[in-house]
Amino acid sequence: MAREKSSKDNAQALFHSLRSAYAATPVNLKIIDLYVGFAVFTALIQVVYMASVGSFPFNSFLSGVLSCVGTAVLAVCLRIQVNKENKEFKDLPPERAFADFVLCNLVLHLVIMNFLG
Amino acid sequence: MLLSSDDPFLARPNSLHSCARQRLQKEERISFTLIEMARSLAGFLVLLLVISICEAASLFQPISDSHRSAALELFTSDHGSFKSLEETYEALRTFQILGIEKKPDVTAAACRSISETVGSSSTPKDLFYALKANSIAQCKIHEKASEGIISSLNAAVSGASLLLDFYYSIGGLVLIKDQSSKADIHLADAEGVFRSVKAFSQSDGRWRYSSNNPESSAFAAGIALETLAGIVSLASSELDQSLISTLKNDISKLFDSIEKYDDGTLYFDDKLVDGHEYQGPLSTTSSVLRGLTAFAAATTGNINLPGDKILGLAKFFLGIGVPGDAKDFFYQVDALACLESNRVSAPLILSLSSAVLSLNKKDSLKVRVTTVLGSNAPPLTVKLVGAFTSGSKDASLVESQELKFDHGSGLHILNDLPKSIDVGSYTFVFEVVLQEPEDEKVYVTGSQTKVPIFVTGIIKIENSEITILDSDLGSVESQSKLDLAAKNAVSLSANHLQKLRLSFQLITPRGRAFKPHQAFLKLRHESKVEHIFVVGNSGKQFEIVLNFLGLVEKFFYLSGKYDMELTVGDAAMENSLLVAIGHLELDLPEAPEKAPRPPPQPVDPYSRYGPKAEITHIFRAPEKRPPQELSLAFLGLTILPLLGFLIGLLRLGVNMKNFPTKPVPATFAVLFHVGIGAVLLLYVFFWLKLDLFQTLKAVGFLGVFLVFVGHRTLSHLAAASAKLKSA
């Protein structure tokens, strides 16, 4: 019983520390994280729908899911490039990274719209 | 044809055909050559050449009523008038030769066109044909008109330079001389004109049309001869005989170039150089004959031409039968009229009313000898010199005998066919002998005429019986006699260990063995599967043995009732038969696994080619779609994360503080956002109705704009943040 209580305490302690550490991240990174979360959530909902009704217009399902996943991936790339603690991208101005993000998203969505059918 | 009896090769009856004798002699010699050459191809070709030199047998018929009815059909006129004077003349001449009555509307229309041509100034060619037509139609020509014609034709003669100019003008003068009352129409310089026409001749007997054109033809030769004959008749004084004799030499040279068909017909033909000028063998030969006979009529003395050539030419024209074209008809009939009565020699044609004789009906051989136009021949006798089986080189089957002449019908008749003539195909050889010796100078009959004769008769079928035998022992199981003249209903049964034997004898009316073209036995199963067997023979006896043990597989192991049918047929057999013999119950063993199946029987053509069953197309069933409410519910659920994102953004405290305030950067920033929105809107339209190419075009434009604007905005933002950092 003491062991169970301690593991529960450990989990709670871990969770609290993660939460406080995350609170320290800059706001723009938090925005990007939120966007990624939104994209993945949307993808999940589409997968659940497909699981329930079947994959008849399979191309539509694929294009929907891949659009969400694609945009999430691009957002992750943007987060990596914008993060000031990342020494690799020290010389890259964040505006440039954002411009890349916008451009790649537009191309992704053109392809997605073509595949949507 | 004296034969010495001690020569072994020539010890044959006198009636043997001389050509066949020569052939045999040559063949003996050539066979040695063949043995030497050991079947070389050249030797074989030599043999063929020798055999082909002799004529083949053929039948020619003189002009008959079928010609007359055809002439009336071919020479149709539009209310009596024809398209040209040439055609008018051809029609009139044809009717005259065939003895068809002149129709009044034809004559009237001809007279109209003749007087029209004669009255106005026409070319020598038109005058020539008008006068030719007039010689038959006999319309009156005005004195003044005929004077005008004479003067214009004389002018044409003096001014002529081409062969055809001479032909028309001289020919016209000859005709007008006969038709007008003026007795003396003479050529001014007959010898000069003769020489100028002779200048067109060539050494090989052909003539040219003009001095410029090197092409020569036999057709032109005929025209030239007619022209020269006209000159001779128009000449006031006797022409130089040397000119006439050189011309006779030219004629002999021309006849040396005569061409030959296999059946003995001779004709003239020109080389096909220019298709426009080419006349064809019919008109060329007709032209030569016309020229020859006109020349023979105009000059004295003999023109030495072998009678065979005249006969060959006559056979050429008769061999055409009834032509289907009016021009060909005219050429044929005109040439035959020239041959009928000419100063060289008139050919006599031997013809048969029927070349198929029946032994059963006791047909007699009826031969008629007439002139080419069908008129009576002078007194003569017809001898049957020999009869040979077609294609064989054996001796003649009959002795030389004379045919009896029947004055009433004008036929030479042989009442009973000799006993040596059985059913089959023969070549009869006739010889025509004129009774009056003077007729030999006028008529030509040819040495021997070969005619193909086909003899038919009733074939006796005897001793026909059908037997079932035991295969091993040969003992007879059942036997029945058949009457093959009538339908039989024999009923037999056999199994696969037995044999079927059918036998009969075929005997000709003369009592000899007969081998028909067809002798088949057909067995047909109930399921319509048929099997046909050929009945073989040895001499008179025809027999077929069907050993069922060997035929089991061929019959596809089908047991049951078979219908039997016998077919015996031949062209010479008047009683060819296809008769049902009866039924055969055949018991065959069971078919093993791998046995061949019988072929599918032909289906009734109406069902095979009739309409087929209608096919209804089954379309692919559409996919099951989820109910609309569920889809709409999930659409709503998809919007939820977006709302969550927006709420999250608000909680994080997003603001627009970094939005540029100065007007220029502000516009660029606004334009940047507008541009992104426009691209997204374009994507929505792309999904709704645009196609990829239109979208790409638009994206191209918007993209360029966006890049420019975005670059300005973002570089401004970067500069602003750099300033903030440094500050």
Q: Is B557 helix (H, G, I), strand (E, B) or coil?
A: coil
Which of A79-88, B476-485, B519-528 has the least mean pLDDT? B476-485
A84 reaches B (C-beta below 8 A): no
What mean pLDDT, rounded, does chain A reach? 89
Supply φ then ψ for residue B478, to 5 degrees.
-150, 150
Q: Provide the token pair at B582.
A: 């009866």
Q: How far is B615 from chain A (nearest CA, A)?
A: 30
Sign of the Cα pseudo-torsion (B297, B298, B301, B303, in order)? negative
For residue range B55-73, list pLDDT tens digits in order.
Answer: 677 888 888 888 888 888 8
Give the mutation candidate from A102, A104, A115 for the B interface (greatest B CB count, under 10 A). A102
CA of A113 vs chain B CAs: smallest distance (Å): 6
- Mutation for A interface: B624, B631, B632, B634, most A CBs within 10 A: B634
From the number of C-beta atoms within 10 Å of its C-beta (0-12, 13-18, 19+), residue B614 rates as exposed
- Quote the percentage of chain A above a pLDDT of 90: 53
CA A95 to chain B, closest CA, distance in angstroms equals: 6
**Residue scoring higher pLDDT (A70 or B485):** A70
The ipTM (two decimal places) reads: 0.87
Angle value at C-alpha B562, between B558 and B568, nearest 5 degrees: 130
Three-state SS sequence of chain A: CHHHHHHHHHHHHHHHHHHHHHHCCCHHHHHHHHHHHHHHHHHHHHHHHHHHHCCCCHHHHHHHHHHHHHHHHHHHHHHHHHCCCCHHHCCCCHHHHHHHHHHHHHHHHHHHHHHHC
Q: Which of A52-61, B183-192, B441-450, B523-532 has the lowest mean pLDDT?
A: B183-192
DSSP 8-state code for residue B342: -
What is residue B3's predicted lDDT score, i.e. its pLDDT? 44
Burial class (CB in 10 A: 0-12, 13-18, 19+), B294: buried
Shortest Cα distance from B685 to chain A (angstroms)?
A: 10
CB-based contact, A56 to chain B, within 8 Å? yes
Instruction: Tell me the per-residue pLDDT of B542-584, one tens digit each, with 9 for 90 and over.
Output: 999 998 888 888 888 888 999 999 999 999 999 999 999 889 9
Yes or no, beta carbons of B638 and A42 under 8 Å apart? yes
* Percent of all residues in chain B with a pLDDT value above 70, rounded to a whole number: 91
Checking if the pLDDT of B332 tops 80, the result is yes
How many contacts does A have with B, using Cβ atoms within 8 A? Answer: 75
Which carries the bigger pLDDT value, residue B404 or residue A5? B404
Phi first, then psi, for residue A28 (nearest 5°) are: -65, -35
CB contacts of A58 in chain B (<8 Å) are: none
Q: What is the pLDDT of residue B16?
A: 46
pLDDT of residue A43: 94
Least confident window among B23-32, B418-427, B440-449: B23-32
CA B110 – CA B131 distance, rounded (Å): 11
Least confidently predicted of A46-50, B351-355, B394-398, B506-510: B394-398
Q: Is the pLDDT of residue B42 over 80?
A: no
Query: Which residues in chain B are closer than 8 Å to A54, comparing Cβ atoms?
Result: 624, 626
Q: Kindly tell me if the per-residue pLDDT of B21 is higher than 60.
A: no
User: Given a cut of 50, is residue B665 above it in pLDDT?
Assistant: yes
Query: If residue B349 lies in a helix (H) or strand (E), which one and from where to where?
Result: strand B346-352
Residue B146 CA to residue B153 CA, distance in Å, equals 10
Given an 8 Å threshold on Cβ–Cβ distance, is A114 in contact with B692?
yes
Mean per-residue pLDDT, B648-654: 86
Whether residues A109 and B683 touch (CB distance < 8 A) is answered with yes
Q: What does the pLDDT read at residue B676?
A: 92
Residues of chain B positioned with their CB less than 8 A from the CB of A39 = 641
pLDDT of residue B5: 45
Q: Does A58 touch chain B (CB under 8 A)?
A: no
Q: How far is CA A101 from the centre of its chain?
A: 13
Question: Do B686 and A113 make contact, defined as CB atoms within 8 angstroms?
Answer: yes
Strands B216-217 and B380-389: unpaired
- Taking residue B265's Cβ as centre, other Cβ atoms within 10 Å add up to 22
Mind listing the pLDDT tens digit for each residue in B82-110?
888 888 888 888 888 888 887 888 888 88
Per residue in B201-215, pLDDT tens? Answer: 888 888 888 888 778
Mean pLDDT, chain B, rounded, equals: 83
Query: Which residues of A are less than 8 Å from B716 in CB distance?
Result: none
- Whether A38 and B676 lie within 8 Å, measured CB to CB: no
B714 interaction partners in chain A (CB closer than 8 Å): 95-96, 98-99
Q: What is the mean pLDDT of residues B4-14?
A: 46
- Which is more confidently placed, B306 or B610? B306
Q: Flag whether pLDDT at B605 surpasses 90.
A: no
Candidate from A27, A53, A116 with C-beta closest to B687: A116
pLDDT of residue B45: 52
What DSSP letter does each residue of B594-638 carry, written as one string? Answer: TPPPPPPPPPPHHHHSSPPPPPPP-PPPPPPPPPHHHHHHHHHHH
HEC profile of B293-310? HHHHHHCCCCCCCCHHHH
Q: Which of A90-94, B136-140, B284-288 shows the highest mean pLDDT?
A: B284-288
Contact between B631 and A114 using a beta-carbon 8 Å cutoff: no
Nearest to A78 by CA among A57, A99, A63: A99
Upper half-sphere CA count for residue B428 (Cβ side, 13 Å): 31
Chain A CB contacts of B681 under 8 Å are none
Chain B, 668 to 687: residues with Cβ < 8 Å from chain A are 676, 679-680, 683, 686-687
Q: Mean per-residue pLDDT for B179-191?
A: 76
Residue of A nearest to B632 (CA): A49
In this prediction, residue B50 carries a pLDDT of: 45
pLDDT for residue B35: 57
Q: Is the Cβ of A26 closer than 8 Å to some Cβ of chain B? A: no
* Contact residues, chain A, for B644 at CB < 8 Å: 38, 41
State whether residue A91 sits within 8 Å of chain B by CB: no
CB B631 to CB A110 under 8 A? Answer: no
Interchain contact A105–B (C-beta under 8 A):
no
Both tokens of residue B100? 């068809």
The answer to whether residue B708 neighbours chain A at the CB level (below 8 Å) is no
Distance from CA of B662 to the nearest CA of A (A): 19
User: Higher confidence at residue B187 or residue B246?
Assistant: B246
**Residue ranges covered by each domain of chain A:** 25-115
CB A62 within 8 A of CB A8: no
Contact residues, chain A, for B711 at CB < 8 Å: 99
Q: Can you tell me the mean pLDDT for B27-53?
A: 53
Q: Higher-confidence residue: B53 or B416?
A: B416
pLDDT band per the 50, 70, 90 thresholds, residue B151: confident
For the ranges B336-340, B393-397, B566-570, B704-708, the lowest mean pLDDT is seen at B393-397
